[in-house]
């Protein structure tokens, strides 16, 4: 089965909205955006990085294995995470019909990622920099997310400089007189909720005669549509208005259609997206840790339900993974080789290679006594709730957490001495 090396750059729309401090002596009127330009409401851009260094870093982090529009050549198929899965589902991958049928049922992740083409014409450089350092889930209908890379602030700044180096800045837009209320009505009338969530804002109803795309099978359009809560961090007013006027002029491969809007309507809709009052963001709930089971658990059961179902995509030998073995074994995406093979019992017992080049057990206790393997799976829930661990990355990388029941199964197996 082809590997699904974990990295899907969700490099779009993230972090809580940065709103201008509103002093008690001069509160902004509502629902109009007439007293301030929205550009003043956003944090200033950080100092620019070095685009040349950024291009080298984009190659180091192998961004082209999941994204188009990086400025790098397309990788070989066995190193192209998304294209490989797309060919499997299209039936064009070189495999037997029975094999393709089997894979099409089991391979559900890494089938779409946003293109990075003309990123600077759409995204603020400061947003890209911060997103690389603090990735969060910004596409509620896409089950994969951007993982935490081993990247420094200087590296993130250089990558952001490269990805925005060919941008043509949009003319500045001052939204005096733009109406948040009218923008809200447009959001509903134009059916924006067909694809987009806008969490924290009043939920718009779909207009009469417009069906919800989820029920029509428009999976990709809905999956790639970002939560508009984060557009105020992602885009400056000028870029947003230019995007609303003609999305395909800025990103030809976008699935967002051109919506008929007058210049005033573009400004009203931008005001609604950038300045509407939003309810506080609701943090994801970390489920309780389940106690170990009182029945026997074997390696075969754990391997079938957990290791070979998920973990082996990034932790396997190259021949088995039909690729390079994944970032958790042979390295990749800027990660150092860890030599951890979770596709076989012997490989699991052999452990991983630490930063000093020494072999370590994945079952060794962490400071709280939790086996390292279980700790990493639990850390994925904490990451999704915004609690990143400086030492351990949550596993599976960039994918939804393993279910509490499957974590319970793994922990039970370890507690019973890891029987084969």
Over range 140-158, report the average pLDDT.
Answer: 94
- pLDDT > 60? residue 57: yes
Considering the domain architecture, whether residues 66 and 165 belong to the same structural domain is answered as yes
Please check whether residue 363 is in contact with residue 372, taking contact to mean a CB–CB distance below 8 angstroms: yes
Please check whether residue 107 is in contact with residue 98, taking contact to mean a CB–CB distance below 8 angstroms: no
Q: 47 vs 156, 157, 166, 365, CA distance in Å?
A: 12, 8, 17, 42
Reported pTM = 0.84
Over range 71-95, report the average pLDDT.
Answer: 87
Domain assignment of residue 180, yes or no: yes
Q: Tell me which range, 92-96, 106-110, 122-126, 141-145, is most confidently predicted by mean pLDDT.
A: 122-126
Considering the domain architecture, whether residues 87 and 213 belong to the same structural domain is answered as yes
Considering the domain architecture, whether residues 246 and 386 belong to the same structural domain is answered as no
Please check whether residue 411 is in contact with residue 405, taking contact to mean a CB–CB distance below 8 angstroms: no
CA 349 from centroid of its chain's CA atoms = 31
Considering the domain architecture, whether residues 149 and 242 belong to the same structural domain is answered as yes
Alpha helices by DSSP H, listed for 107-193, are 125-133, 153-163, 180-189
Domain assignment of residue 292, yes or no: no
pLDDT given for residue 1 in this prediction: 42
Domain assignment of residue 287, yes or no: no
Q: Is the dihedral of CA 163, 167, 173, 179 positive or negative?
A: negative
- pLDDT > 60? residue 114: yes
Block residue for tokens 């596409």: 139
Q: Is the dihedral of CA 199, 114, 156, 49 positive or negative?
A: negative
Give which of 313, 327, 388 is closest to 135, Cα–Cα.
Answer: 388
DSSP annotation of 306: I
Considering the domain architecture, whether residues 314 and 277 belong to the same structural domain is answered as no
Q: 314 vs 69, 332, 343, CA distance in Å?
A: 24, 10, 10
Considering the domain architecture, whether residues 346 and 389 belong to the same structural domain is answered as yes
The total number of structural domains in the chain stands at 2
Q: Tell me which range, 1-10, 38-47, 174-183, 320-329, is most confidently predicted by mean pLDDT.
A: 174-183
Q: What is the pLDDT of residues 315-326, one digit of tens each?
A: 988 776 666 778
Which of 281, 310, 332 is the C-terminal boundary of a domain? 281
Considering the domain architecture, whether residues 367 and 245 belong to the same structural domain is answered as no
Domain assignment of residue 294, yes or no: no
Domain assignment of residue 272, yes or no: yes
Considering the domain architecture, whether residues 230 and 347 belong to the same structural domain is answered as no
pLDDT band at 327 (very low <50, low <70, confident <90, very high): confident
pLDDT given for residue 31 in this prediction: 45
The Cα 75–Cα 228 span in angstroms is: 32
Q: 110 vs 76, 86, 271, 379, CA distance in Å?
A: 16, 8, 34, 21
Q: Tell me which range, 107-116, 288-297, 324-333, is most confidently predicted by mean pLDDT.
A: 288-297
Considering the domain architecture, whether residues 258 and 305 belong to the same structural domain is answered as no
Over range 187-207, report the average pLDDT.
Answer: 87
Domain assignment of residue 293, yes or no: no
pLDDT given for residue 10 in this prediction: 37
Domain assignment of residue 286, yes or no: no
pLDDT given for residue 209 in this prediction: 61
Considering the domain architecture, whether residues 274 and 303 belong to the same structural domain is answered as no
Q: Which domain holds residue 141?
A: 1-281
- pLDDT > 60? residue 24: no
Considering the domain architecture, whether residues 152 and 25 belong to the same structural domain is answered as yes
Tokens of 418: 């890891």
Over range 292-319, report the average pLDDT.
Answer: 91
Considering the domain architecture, whether residues 217 and 304 belong to the same structural domain is answered as no
- pLDDT > 90? residue 55: yes
């Amino acid at each position: 089965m082809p590997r699904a090396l974990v990295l899907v750059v969700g490099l779009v729309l993230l972090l809580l909205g940065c709103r201008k401090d509103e002093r008690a002596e001069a509160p902004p009127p509502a629902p109009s955006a007439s007293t301030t330009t929205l550009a003043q409401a956003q944090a200033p851009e950080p100092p620019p990085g070095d685009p040349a260094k950024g291009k080298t870093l984009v190659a180091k982090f192998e961004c082209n294995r999941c994204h188009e529009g990086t400025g790098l050549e397309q990788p070989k198929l066995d190193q192209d995470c998304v294209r490989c899965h797309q060919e499997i589902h299209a039936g064009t991958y070189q495999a037997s019909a029975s094999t393709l049928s089997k894979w099409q049922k089991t391979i559900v992740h890494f089938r779409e990622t946003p293109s990075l083409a003309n990123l600077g014409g759409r995204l603020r450089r400061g947003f890209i920099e911060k997103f690389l350092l603090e990735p969060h889930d910004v596409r509620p209908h896409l089950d994969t997310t951007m993982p935490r890379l081993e990247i420094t602030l200087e590296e993130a700044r250089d990558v952001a400089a490269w990805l925005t180096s060919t941008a043509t800045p949009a003319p500045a837009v001052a939204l005096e007189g733009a109406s948040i209320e009218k923008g809200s009505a447009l959001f509903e009338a134009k059916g924006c909720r067909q694809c987009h969530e806008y969490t924290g804002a009043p939920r718009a109803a779909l207009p009469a005669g417009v069906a919800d795309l989820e029920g029509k099978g428009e999976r990709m359009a809905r999956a790639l549509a970002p939560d508009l809560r984060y557009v105020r961090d992602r885009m400056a007013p000028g870029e947003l208005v230019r995007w609303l006027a003609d999305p395909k002029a800025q990103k030809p491969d976008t699935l967002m259609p051109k919506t008929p809007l007058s210049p005033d309507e573009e400004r009203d809709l931008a005001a609604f997206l950038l300045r509407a009052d939003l309810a506080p963001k609701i943090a994801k709930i970390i489920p309780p840790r389940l106690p170990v089971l009182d029945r026997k658990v074997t390696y075969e059961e754990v391997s079938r339900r957990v290791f070979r179902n998920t973990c082996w995509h990034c932790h396997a030998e190259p021949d088995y993974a039909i690729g390079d073995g994944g970032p958790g074994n042979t390295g990749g995406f800027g990660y150092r080789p860890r030599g951890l093979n979770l596709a076989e019992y012997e490989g699991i017992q052999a452990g991983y290679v630490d930063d000093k080049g020494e072999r370590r057990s994945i079952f060794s206790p962490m400071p709280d006594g939790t086996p390292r393997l279980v700790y990493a799976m639990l850390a994925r829930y904490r990451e999704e709730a915004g609690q990143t661990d400086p030492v351990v990355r949550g596993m599976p990388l960039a994918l939804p957490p393993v279910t509490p029941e499957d974590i319970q199964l793994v922990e039970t197996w370890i507690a019973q001495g890891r029987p084969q």
